[in-house]
Each structure stands twice: as C-alpha cells, then as structure tokens.
Amino acid sequence: MIARVAVWEPMPTDDRDWLVDAMADVPGVHAVYHLLDPETGNGLSVAVFEDEAAAEHAGAAIRHRAEEVGWHDGQRPARVSETFYQVLRGRP
C-alpha cells in the first residue's frame, strides 16, 4: 500500500465532495481524508491506495471530474507539496 499526502496553504474549503466521490469508484482506493487546521486555514489531503496503479487511476478520475465541475475555471489555491509514502503498517 501507498499513501499520498498533499500540503495545502490554504486548504480549499469550498464544497469538494466531488473529489471524494470521484475516487469512490476507483478500485484500490482505501481511504481519502481532507484535514484542516482551523487556526491557520492550512491543511492536508491524505489518501491511501493499494498500489501506484490505483493512485494513478484515482488521479485520472479526479482530473476528469475537475473538468466536469469547472474546478479550474476560477483561481484556486494550489497544493504546496505532494509526497507518496510506502505504508509500513496500519489498520482500517
């Protein structure tokens, strides 16, 4: 398994259920979380995937849905960083 952690400064707080919904039907997606620090407005996007192929398919699904909902039509915050980690241990 692998985990993707993206840092946002600030974290977009508008309705982004479309993003989570886009990944819901992708095989190999185990978890998706958006975390917000209420004091700073910064956040993390954390997702856990079965493997790199699942992460790539999820990314494609997100890009497709972003086009459908017009996510890129306006100016939005961009992530500061994105890092993939090997999951050593965990429990659902």
Instruction: Summarize pLDDT for 32-70 with one digit per residue, the tens.
Output: 999 999 999 999 999 999 999 999 999 999 999 999 988
CA–CA separation, 53 and 72 (whole Å): 25
CA gap 77, 92 in Å, rounded? 30
Confidence band, pLDDT 50/70/90 cuts, at residue 16 = confident
CB 13, CB 25: distance < 8 Å: no
Quick one: 79 exposed, middle or buried, by C-beta within 10 A (0-12, 13-18, 19+)? middle
Identify residue 16 by its one-letter amino acid code.
Answer: R
